[in-house]
């Protein structure tokens, strides 16, 4: 466990910085606040996805995390013969701590905003890590 702890901390910090940069750019695209756009109307939420270019910035976040994960998989996980337990620990710890941090960071926001932001972080983070580790281990292990 102590072997992957530096990777968890560095990966978590990197992922959160990239996530908040993408989120900030998304909010700057449209001069609206989060609370004005995201309400409980489903049609309004899909309109907000287009206005804030959510999919574009989610893609940027996915690619940034994917590249980092490919690098740590090739140069550390495979090099030190770390297996599935360490990979699952890395992904699970990083996603859980990151989502928890986002919920605490947005504590004063609406419940839907907190849940949506932490879900966007966690789901994209987990998906990009799984794909990156799978590709890395197929190519280099």
pLDDT by residue (tens digit) across 63-88? 999 999 999 999 888 888 888 888 99
95-123: burial string, b at 16+ Cβ within 10 Å, e else = beebbeebbeebeebeeebbebbbebbbe
Which domain, by its residues, includes 88? 5-140
pTM: 0.82
Q: Is the pLDDT of residue 103 over 90?
A: no
Task: Please give the tally of structural domains in the chain.
Answer: 1
């Amino acid at each position: 466990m102590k072997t992957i702890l530096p990777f968890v901390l560095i990966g978590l910090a990197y992922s959160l910085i990239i996530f908040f940069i993408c989120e900030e750019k998304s909010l700057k695209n449209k001069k609206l606040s989060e609370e004005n756009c995201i309400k409980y109307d489903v049609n309004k939420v899909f309109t907000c996805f287009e206005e804030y270019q959510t999919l574009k910035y989610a893609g940027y976040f996915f690619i940034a995390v994917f590249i980092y994960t490919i690098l740590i998989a090739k140069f550390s996980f495979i090099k030190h013969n770390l297996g599935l337990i360490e990979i699952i620990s890395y992904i699970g710890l990083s996603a859980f701590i990151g989502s928890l941090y986002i919920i605490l960071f947005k504590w004063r926001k609406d419940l839907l905003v907190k849940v949506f932001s932490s879900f966007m972080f966690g789901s994209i983070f987990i998906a990009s890590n799984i794909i990156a580790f799978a590709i890395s281990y197929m190519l280099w292990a």
